Amino acid sequence: MAVGLGSNLGDRRRILAAAIAGLAAFGEVVAVSPLYETAPLGGPDQGPYLNAVAVLDTPLEPRRLLEGMLALEGRMGRERRERWGPRTLDLDLLVYGDRVVEEPGLTVPHPRLAGRRFVLAPLADVWPGLRLPDGRAVADLLQAVAGQEATRIGGDRWWDPSDPLALLEAPPPEVSPEEAAVFAAACFGVRGEARVLEGERDRNFGIDGPDGRFVLKVANPASDPGVLDLQQAALEHLAGADPALGAPRAVRARDGGRIGWAEHDGVRRGVLLQTFLDGDRLPDGRSTARSRTALGALLARLDLALAGLEHPAVERADPWDLTRLEALRPHTGHLPDGRRAVVEEEIDRFTAITLPALAGSRRRVIHADGNPANLVTAPGDPDAVTGIVDFGDVMAAPLPAEVAIAAAYQCLGQPATDVVIGGLVAAYGRLLPLLPEEAAVVPGLVAARLAQSLIMSAWRASLHPDNAPYLLIHAGPVWEALLRVRALPPGWIPEVR
């Protein structure tokens, strides 16, 4: 079957690319057309649309597919305020094989398909021999509307699924706790009740029952299965390299694989299961000399244990890779006006100074996301950092990025950022000393992470307004921390011991 896509609000190209990733949850995306730009048809004054067509091989019946498409529109920010008005995302079911459907709210083939060149042209690109159920050829219909304007502007791979930012654009899957409990039992043989946990890209659940306590991750439909496999492989490696390290244990699926595969509304979803790591979450904004000592030691021990991990997905383009900060420049427009210029200046500084200086750093496999949400402390003792969770960002990266990422979050709410950064570098260095040239780039990496966080949260909040409170919860403290880091004396570097 074929789906038409259109957008004339926001970053249209990326919105449509994210929609392609979202459609992958309903089946296999067989082909995607180039992009076409066209003036709006009817309605109020508004900007031009980008349009495309995707061919999908799906097990869903037309009605269920339409329901999924409407839900995807909503998650991508579609608001139905006025007929023919501006749309963040518009999805239409154009054809469904040779099926003819006449139901309330659903007509297939699409009733206006034959008269619109911006639909027929991309449809002919991806399905050139298509004939509608009444025998009419799409090629002939396209010839009949040749006088309509529709400008082809997109290359054949404009929606490239290898784009690491696509994962952040695709909305998380819609899964209920009851369904998560079924996944745990079906894929892993684990029984229990499911409760919702926080998550940025995936749907996460705690599973509690007679078989123990676990965390179930239902992966974003845009996730690379290789990266899902890496998360579990990293935990398996740690269990062998340092069994006493505070990290979850990966649970293999019933078929012996690292990833479980669950059928949900006709969609095949990747599911991971890990043991639950007991303890409390490190409170936001808490950073003491004792907590930094514990955190630095934990990260160094973790990185030493990760040495020797080999997996093809560690060398990948990841949206949170600090060395890719420049790729986020097009999204600074989502920042408030008072912050955009400062963040863009930080991107310039990183590109001109910090990034070239990283050439002298060792490249290692690191966790790459030591933020408080991923750090576990001993019950009743918030300064005793004992464990770390969420290995979704594990990657090969410059070694000083590990301590810099953690230091960026430790700087939130702390007036003396030099004390925070210096203390964490010193604690890390007692087990895994940084080279002088590696320590020298840490302040620049801290500032880069704070700038990266500001851009990501503002951009993703515009894409997923329903999740905006979670995405923007730390925007204020991150901004203040960035200003304080920028105010450090020129040339200041943490002491290497």
The pair of three-digit structure tokens given for residue 481, joined into one six-digit string: 């921390």
Per DSSP, 10 falls in state S
Domain-located, residue 250:
yes
63: domain CATH number is 3.30.70.560
- Distance CA(63)–CA(108), nearest Å, equals 10
- Whether residues 182 and 147 share a domain: the answer is no
- Point out the least confidently predicted range of 148-157, 326-335, 353-362, 411-420: 148-157
Query: What's the distance, CA 353 to chain centroid?
Result: 28
Beta strands at 2-7 and 90-95: parallel, antiparallel or unpaired = antiparallel
- Whether residues 263 and 393 share a domain: the answer is no
- Whether residues 144 and 251 share a domain: the answer is no
pTM for the structure as a whole: 0.72
Domain boundary among 161, 186, 217: 161
- Whether residues 373 and 264 share a domain: the answer is no
The burial of 75, by beta-carbon neighbours within 10 Å (0-12 exposed, 13-18 middle, 19 or more buried), is given as buried
The angle at the Cα of 409, spanning 170 to 314, to the nearest 5 degrees, equals: 55
Per annotation, catalytic residue among 12, 75, 92, 163: 92
Q: What is the mean pLDDT of the chain?
A: 90
For the stretch 68-94, pLDDT in tens is 888 778 766 666 666 666 778 889 999
Higher pLDDT, 281 or 60: 281
Per annotation, catalytic residue among 12, 78, 117, 292: 78
Domain boundary among 275, 303, 330: 275
pLDDT computed for residue 52 by the predictor? 93
**Count of other CB atoms within 10 angstroms of residue 49:** 22
The DSSP annotation for 213-228 comes to EEEEEE--TT--HHHH
Provide φ and ψ at 218, rounded to 5°: -95, 115
Q: To which residue do tokens 């704070």 refer?
A: 450
- Whether residues 362 and 217 share a domain: the answer is no
- 3-state DSSP assignment of residue 450: helix
430: domain CATH number is 3.90.1200.10
**Annotation marks residue 90 as catalytic:** yes
For the stretch 278-334, pLDDT in tens is 999 999 889 999 999 999 999 999 999 999 999 988 988 788 999 989 989 989 999
Domain-located, residue 494:
no
**Annotation marks residue 92 as catalytic:** yes
Domain-located, residue 493:
no
Q: In the predicted model, what is the mean pLDDT of residues 20-46?
A: 81
Q: Assess whether pLDDT exceeds 90 at residue 182.
A: yes
Whether residue 313 contacts residue 391, with contact meaning beta carbons closer than 8 Å, is answered with no
Domain-located, residue 171:
no
Task: Please give the residue range of the domain that contains residue 391.
Answer: 280-486
Q: Assess whether pLDDT exceeds 60 at residue 162.
A: no
Per annotation, catalytic residue among 13, 63, 90, 381: 90
Residues making up the chain, counted from first to last? 497
Per annotation, catalytic residue among 12, 14, 87, 449: 87
- 3-state DSSP assignment of residue 261: strand
How many domains does one find in the chain?
Answer: 3
The DSSP annotation for 195-255 comes to EEE--SSSEEEEEEETTEEEEEEE--TT--HHHHHHHHHHHHHHHHH-TTSS---EE--TT
* Cα–Cα distances in angstroms (integers) from residue 45 to residues 40, 42, 52, 88, 151, in the given order: 8, 8, 22, 15, 20
What are the helix and strand counts (H, E) for the chain? 15, 19
pLDDT computed for residue 365 by the predictor? 97
- 3-state DSSP assignment of residue 375: strand
Domain boundary among 131, 161, 191: 161
What is the gyration radius of the CA atoms in the chain, in angstroms?
Answer: 25
Q: Assess whether pLDDT exceeds 90 at residue 339.
A: yes
